[in-house]
Amino acid sequence: MSAPSSTSAPRLLDQVRAAIRLRHYSSKTEEACISWIKRFILFHGKRHPREMGEAEVTAFLSDLAVARGSSASTQNQALSAVLFLYSAVLGRQLPWMNTIVRAQRPVRLPVVLSRSEVSAVLARLHGPVWIMASLMYGAGLRLQECVELRVKDLNFDRRELVVRDGKGGKDRVTMLPDRLRRPLEDHLRVMKAQHADDLAAGCGGVALPGDLRSKYPNAPFEWPWQWVFRATRHYVDAVSGEKRRHHLHESVVQRAVKEAARVAGIARPATCHTLRHSFATHLLESGYDIRTIQELLGHRDVSTTMIYTHVLNQGGRGVRSPLDQGGHGGRE
């Protein structure tokens, strides 16, 4: 029996990672895809996906839906990962892949806070977390878009900020609220001094998207590429071995906003994304055009933005109840 060749094909999951990175998908997408493919393989007793097909994929998805009660979005995420494995990695364009029906996500109205409720939440936040929550409400940012802001994405002269590689891999421009100009400038002065200290200590680099590091070797250490909202601790990159500083973790902001809403006495499930929903609804209330709001939010289809018109139409599409129109006797 001959020894295995040193040029043997890479392991399956390494092939998946390579295919994802070739398409410049986000690290979170890579992490989720790898996780679902692992679960799919383990579900079928570690059989190689080449040996499986429609029946095995259907059984896996059915187990998620029936036995585990997973949501439609979870089922669709799992399906997308498995289909990516077969089409992009294994090169198998099987006829049954086009006939699998994706689970329908229920249409739910977003939770929206009133202006006074937003003010109550923001009043209970402080420091960088207050700035981040204010940006999610004042500029319509998603949480991930907010934590991944870099210094170069802020343009104070034009009063705008650029969202890089947002949902769907798109860039977009949105407003930079005047009220945040001074707090952001003060915050960046502190961060720039911290960055100078990091450089002096030999740990002033950050991760760059895609292959920018090879094109611009010095960029990770330059001020424009630094995170606006920096983590309090350093980490060691597993690939390069460099000591770096990441952006503030999403969970820090999520916990702070949730606690602020609780202390403010808001009975509805207010989250970071609730601030973005409130941004869109309050712009509609102010009379701004739905297409403008669609562009600011980064929605691919205006039908996604239209859901805020349903929130705006208070109680039965804005119709006034006959009970409230007077002329009725009696009392409680």
pLDDT at residue 195, rounded to an integer: 95
Angle (CA) 40 42 46, round 5°: 110
Q: Say if strands 230-236 and 243-247 run parallel, antiparallel, or are unpaired.
A: antiparallel
CATH topology for 12-98?
Answer: DNA polymerase; domain 1 (1.10.150)
Residue type, 24: H
Angle (CA) 260 28 54, round 5°: 125
What is the distance of C-alpha 82 from the center of its chain?
21
Q: Which CATH class is domain 115-309?
A: mainly alpha
Mean pLDDT of 222-239: 90
Domain residue spans of the chain: 12-98, 115-309
- One fold for 12-98 and 115-309: no
According to DSSP, residue 67 is labeled I
Overall pTM > 0.95: no
Residue positions annotated with a catalytic role: 142, 167, 273, 276, 299, 308
pLDDT at residue 320, rounded to an integer: 57
Q: Is 116:143 a contact under the CB 8 Å cutoff?
A: no
pLDDT single digits (tens) 91-142: 877 666 655 556 666 667 788 999 999 999 999 999 999 999 999 999 999 9
Mean pLDDT of 184-199: 96
Q: In 10 A of CB 40, how many CB atoms? A: 21
pLDDT at residue 109, rounded to an integer: 78
Cα separation values, 99 from 94, 151, 176, 177, Å: 10, 46, 45, 47
Is residue 6 predicted with pLDDT exceeding 90? Answer: no
pLDDT at residue 3, rounded to an integer: 43
pLDDT single digits (tens) 254-296: 999 999 999 999 999 999 999 999 999 999 888 888 888 888 9
